[in-house]
Amino acid sequence: MLPETSTGRIDKKERSALDVAIDKTASRKRFKSNEEIYGAKEPAVYFYKVVSGCVRSYTVLGDGRRLIAAFHLPGEVFGLEPTERHLFSAEALSDAETLVINRNEVTRLAARENAVAGALWAHVANELHRTQNHLLLLNKGASERVVSFLLEMDDRIQLSDENGLPMTRQDIADYLALSSETISRVLKKLESASAIALRTTRHIVLRDRAVLEQMVT
């Protein structure tokens, strides 16, 4: 028990234990661009694993602004909340293919198989870690937020000419709690400083990772 992932990441062994559980019970489902996968406050009957495409988890604040809590890329599990109801809504960013898993089946399995229980624990721990990082992010300046985002995305997908961002400027803005105009301006500034290159709007290449990393402090 208590899988002790010092990095906060799900490690290989646990991931495969959960994967096995998922493969046993999952069915496949496709979502079109901007299609809702589930809404906040709905009973969390299912959770999901991204096969292809990209998904956003978000909530709409009282004043109508949208806060994106996370982007979910292929291979990642989302919607597996420790509560009975979803806290966030989820939508496909682009056309997306997912595996749909019945939550109860997996939790029943977890009661018998320790490895699965460990994987679930690790997943929540990971989620907590992510959220804490997001919290720290919002206490930084605009440039630092954008740079953190770029570095994070470059870790998760390889940013290159062939491999662009799956999300719009507005999505980035809502993730970083900035306006889309500010995203534009910061990116421009980073390009002028030749820390990045903007091949097209979606294709951003990190030119000087060292400089970028030292900006986030």
Partner DNA sequence: CGGAGTTTTGATCGAGCTCAACGTGGGTGG
Partner DNA sequence: CCACCCACGTTGAGCTCGATCAAAACTCCG
- Which positions lie near a copy of itself, rule CB under 8 A? 1-2, 4-6, 8, 59, 61-63, 65, 67, 69, 82-85, 87, 107, 110-111, 117, 120-122, 124-125, 127-129, 131-132, 134-136, 138-140, 177, 216-217
Q: Which residue has the tokens 């949208």?
A: 66
5 makes contact with DNA (CB under 7 A): no
Q: Is 141 in the site for DNA (CB under 7 A)?
A: yes
Alpha helices in 49-161 (DSSP H): 103-112, 114-137, 142-156
Q: Is 99 helix (H, G, I), strand (E, B) or coil?
A: strand
Q: Using CB atoms within 10 A of its CB, is residue 37 exposed (0-12), middle (13-18) or buried (19+)? A: buried
Considering only 170, 197, 208, 213, the residue that binds DNA (CB under 7 A) is 170
Question: Is there binding between residue 199 and DNA (CB under 7 A)?
Answer: no
For residue 160, give every residue at least 6 positions away whose Cβ sits within 8 Å of its Cβ, in sequence order, or none.
Answer: 203, 205
Interacting partner of 198 out of DNA, a copy of itself, none (Cβ under 5 to 8 A depending on kind) = DNA
Enumerate binding residues for DNA (CB under 7 A). 141-143, 168-170, 177-185, 187-188, 198, 200-202
